[in-house]
Amino acid sequence: MIWLIAAMKCEAEKISGILGDDMTCILTGMGPDNAYYSVKKLIDSGKAGPFDKILNVGVCGAGEDIPAGSLYYINKITYMKSGREYYPDLSLFPGDIDEGQIFTSDDIVTETHPGELYDMEASAVFEAGQKFFSPDSMLFLKVVSDHGHDIPTDKKISGLIEAHKDSIKEAAERLLERAKEQEEKLKVPDLKDKLCLTEAMNNDMYNLLRYAKAKGCLKKVEDYIAGLEKEGLIPAKNKKEGAVYAKRIKDMLTD
């Protein structure tokens, strides 16, 4: 799943359906606080999967030397209030899109500087997102809408985003392709129901099995589970019984 994060409806309405059921749009509202808590809410809800990606799309202000309508891939984000810096993974860089840095402000920036981009959400999306999503799972695309003077109308914003619909779709497809590649590469057995695991225990088991697959020793677990199933011992009758089997799996992979 690609989670399209946008502050306003006018930023998302022309692109929210570009990947069909593989994309879900979240409108955060303007400003760092709204963006932060919207992404945090997504993570806390448990709806985001381990291979899901964030695509943050929106308009931004810029220095007078940067033409309105320009599309940028963001490789560095700075929160102006704290000076904290964030770095999305460059391996996601869409080579046909210009690369740039952005400064996130609590308020609309009216005094701009050459070569700089400004928005009100990127740093908050990254800060909240990094609690679940890795830097190579978050992509930030920004379209210059103004230079700090006239606030663009919703119609203008929608048009600016739509003008880059094809480029945004291509970037989103790259994200989705990476997600599917990672899922296939790291696919492991789902033991939550079979072992009556709690959410926390299941997360630990998932990480352990991913490690085992990377090390080439997952077959030991698969053979052990198959044996338990053949004997009719799983699904486990309760959490206590399942915990015993889970510990045996952990022991066989960490000895």
pLDDT recorded at residue 253: 83
Query: Kind of pairing, strands 2-6 and 23-27?
Result: parallel
Looking at the whole model, is its pTM more than 0.85?
A: no
Instruction: Indicate the domain borders of the chain.
Output: 2-184, 186-254
Give the chain's radius of gyration (CA, Å): 22
Statement: 2-184 belongs to CATH 3.40.50.1580: yes
Decide if pLDDT at 252 tops 90.
no
> At 215, is the pLDDT very low, low, confident or very high (cuts 50, 70, 90)?
confident
Percent of residues, the chain, with pLDDT higher than 70:
98
Decide if pLDDT at 22 tops 80.
yes
Residue among 9, 11, 27 nearest 161 (CA): 11
Q: What is the pLDDT of residues 33-48, one digit of tens each?
A: 999 999 999 999 999 9
Q: What is the pLDDT of residues 71-119, one digit of tens each?
A: 999 999 999 999 999 999 877 666 778 999 999 999 999 999 999 999 9
> At 218, is the pLDDT very low, low, confident or very high (cuts 50, 70, 90)?
confident
- Could you tell me if 89 and 136 are in contact, meaning their C-beta atoms sit under 8 angstroms apart? yes
Residue among 53, 56, 45, 57 nearest 22 (CA): 53
Burial of 11 (0-12, 13-18, 19+ CB in 10 A): buried
